[in-house]
Amino acid sequence: MASKVAALLLLGLICCQLAPAQIIMDCCLSVSEKRLIPKNIVGYHIQRAGQGCDISATVFLHKKGMQLCVVPAEGHPWVQNLLKRLDKNRKPHH
């Protein structure tokens, strides 16, 4: 009986170790410095290196559904301005 318990524990441990490896991340592999047309951008998220992806990026969502990978906001005023514009538009108006 002890061997069955040990076998089940070992099987559980193996499954727990394999599960995180099967998570698929949607990461930018490169970034562009090309400026985007603000009226075409509807959202964004920040990709940080070391959190499942290899590089840091600002990921803008185009109105046609494309994800556009550009340089991180730090040191790039045009990216910072576009982020501020999108954040301002997200806030509810009273």
In this structure, what are the phi and psi dihedrals at residue 26, rounded to the nearest 5 degrees?
-100, 90
As averages over each run of 10 residues, the pLDDT of the chain (94 residues) reads 60 52 77 96 97 96 97 97 94 62
For the chain, domains (ranges, CATH) are 26-90 (2.40.50.40)
Query: What pLDDT shows up at residue 87?
Result: 95
The token pair at 70 is 């550009």
Instruction: State the burial class of residue 55 (Cβ atoms within 10 Å of its Cβ: 0-12, 13-18, 19+).
Output: middle
pLDDT of residue 89: 86
Q: What is the pTM of this model?
A: 0.70
pLDDT of res. 12: 60
Among 85, 22, 77, 30, which residue's Cα sits nearest to residue 53? Answer: 30
Q: What is the pLDDT of residue 18?
A: 46
The pLDDT value recorded for residue 14 is 58
Q: What is the pLDDT of residue 10?
A: 55
